[in-house]
Structure 1
Amino acid sequence: MTQGHTITIETSERHVRVVHGDQVLAETDRPLVLRETGCPARYYIPAEDVRLDLLTPSGTHTVCPFKGTASYWSLPDAADLVWAYPDPKPEVAEIKDHYCFYDVDVS
């Protein structure tokens, strides 16, 4: 990591629910919380707790110098709503097989 840039990942027992329209896309009590310098805290949800059957892989990919290359998934009315790092950098290996959504409800 470059000086001044930090990423921390911790396990949580908070209830995280992702709803789009009237569909529940993900729900978990075991998210990972990723905190990164300059970014809001993000909840990474285990694949088993995500309705992958509702999501369509997108052609979008972005590269983060700290986490690796992200792949994205979409809904018919919401492009690139969710992302994951299929092969994350070793420093953030915990987020492999976890999905992150732009909008989540945390309780």
Structure 2
Amino acid sequence: MTNADTSHRIEIEPNLHRLRVIHGGITIADTRKGVTLKETGLPDVFYFPREDVNMTRLRRSDSASHCPYKGDAAYFHLLTEEDGPVVDAAWSYESPLPGAEAIKGCIAFYSSRVDRIDQTS
């Protein structure tokens, strides 16, 4: 996807690997149907279909942000038994802009706020 800023690109492609998010020894997300979003100047981000995320571990927060390339993001706290919520550990684009539709409703996690995000065979 490109827009008026031709130097900024977003590419979204299916990820054929197994993707997992693990925090506190608990698997929060586990999929073979994820997508990888590659955006100019940023690290690659894995997006997980909601059906492969343990949504009982996430609680919608009041945080929001806007990206001129992807749209409006909603955030989620990760609920843990021992340490309480991990604030805004994940996000989702419920109605992404044209060109970013492949991430609609998927969940992504900040690698700095969870123990591990694994990509394996």
- TM category, shorter: over 0.9
TM-score by length of 1: 0.96
Answer with 1 or 2: which has the greater Rg: 2
Aligned length: 107
Instruction: Report the 3-state secondary structure (helix = DSSP H, G, I; strand = E; otherwise coil) of the residue aligned with 2:7.
Output: coil
Q: What's the counterpart of residue 118 of structure 2? A: 105
Who is 2:31 aligned against?
A: 28
Displacement of 1:77 in angstroms is: 3.0
- Deviation of 1:84 (Å): 0.4
Alignment counterpart, residue 95 of structure 1, candidates 94, 103, 110: 103
Tell me the secondary structure at the aligned position of residue 41 of structure 2: coil
Q: Which residue of 2 aligns with 1:46?
A: 49
SS at match of 2:51: helix
Structure 1 residue runs of 5 or longer lacking an equivalent are: none
In the other structure, the counterpart of 2:114 is none
Counterpart in the other structure of 2:6: 3
Query: Is 1:68 matched with 2:76?
Result: no
Offset of residue 22 of structure 1: 1.6
State TM-score, norm by structure 2. 0.85
Q: Distance in 1 between matches of 2:96 and 2:87?
A: 22
| Percent of residue pairs identical | 36
Structure 1 residue 91: Cα displacement: 1.2
CA RMSD of aligned residues (A): 0.9
Corresponding residue for 1:82? 90
* Secondary structure of the corresponding residue to residue 90 of structure 1: coil
| Cα deviation digits, residues 24-46 of structure 1 (max 9, x gap) | 11000111010000000000100
Q: Report the 3-state secondary structure (helix = DSSP H, G, I; strand = E; otherwise coil) of the residue aligned with 2:17.
A: coil
Instruction: Tell me the SS of whatever aligns to 2:100.
Output: helix
In the aligned structure 2, how far is the partner of 1:7 from the partner of 1:51?
27
5+ long unaligned stretches in structure 2: 79-83, 112-116
* 1:56 lines up with 2:69 in the alignment: no
